[in-house]
Amino acid sequence: MTIHRQVAWPLAVAAAAAVMVAAVAPALAQSPAIAKAVLKDKSGKEVGEANLTQTKNGVLIRLSVKGIEPGEHAFHVHAVGKCEAPFTSAGGHFNPASHKHGLESAEGAHAGDMPNLHVPQNGDLKVEVFNAMITLAKGQPNSVFDADGSALVIHAKADDNKTDPAGDAGDRIACGVVTE
């Protein structure tokens, strides 16, 4: 009898652990480790692509653009995953914490605020941008995969990093919905 009990308990524990793993696994699978955005200009022409990777510290964005006007351009995560020219459909900057705009803001920044892009004379740029204020993990308040999604937007002018709410960055020249 004693031997039977010693065998039975570990089996029961193992069975319970297996049930827990089965219950947790689908929830983890729903949060993507990578995401993507194809950026198009107002005429619908593809002008860039971004690959987003979730890291332990934030989201690494590998961006490549083609045929963008040379110079400095603001680059933001916008609050709505909808890119209909002239891209006001993408809403304001992604700002789940209700902060003021700008990487130099004294009251935090928008989660969607990022450094300017510096596009060279040939109009093509490959750059890596790191954003520690956003996540791809669903269910988090700062997730780019919230109810209405998110979009990456490039502006006509540079972001001055302080003017609320949009950094005086001018028109939106390219937009891409963030997708899994």
Q: Which residues contact Zn ion by CB under 5 A?
A: 93, 101, 110, 113
Closer to Zn ion at the Cβ: 110 or 172? Answer: 110
Could you tell me the smallest distance in angstroms from the CB atom of residue 142 to Zn ion? Answer: 14
3-state secondary structure of 56: coil
Could you tell me the smallest distance in angstroms from the CB atom of residue 104 to Zn ion? Answer: 11
Could you tell me the smallest distance in angstroms from the CB atom of residue 93 to Zn ion? Answer: 3
Nearest residue to 74 (alpha-carbon basis) of 180, 163, 179, 168: 168
CA distance linking residue 50 with residue 86, whole number of Å: 20
Residues 6+ apart with CB under 8 A from 125: 63, 64, 65, 68, 117, 118, 119
Closer to Zn ion at the Cβ: 93 or 172? Answer: 93
Q: Are strands 46-55 and 71-73 parallel, antiparallel or unpaired?
A: unpaired
Closer to Zn ion at the Cβ: 124 or 164? Answer: 164
Could you tell me the smallest distance in angstroms from the CB atom of residue 20 to Zn ion? Answer: 41
Could you tell me the smallest distance in angstroms from the CB atom of residue 30 to Zn ion? Answer: 28
Closer to Zn ion at the Cβ: 66 or 162? Answer: 162
3-state secondary structure 107-166: CECCCCECCCEEECCCCCEEEEEEECCCECCCCCCCECCCCCCCEEEEECCCCCCCCCCC
Closer to Zn ion at the Cβ: 86 or 165? Answer: 165
Residues 6+ apart with CB under 8 A from 159: 74, 75, 76, 102, 103, 113, 116, 166, 167, 168, 169
Closer to Zn ion at the Cβ: 67 or 108? Answer: 108
Could you tell me the smallest distance in angstroms from the CB atom of residue 171 to Zn ion? Answer: 16
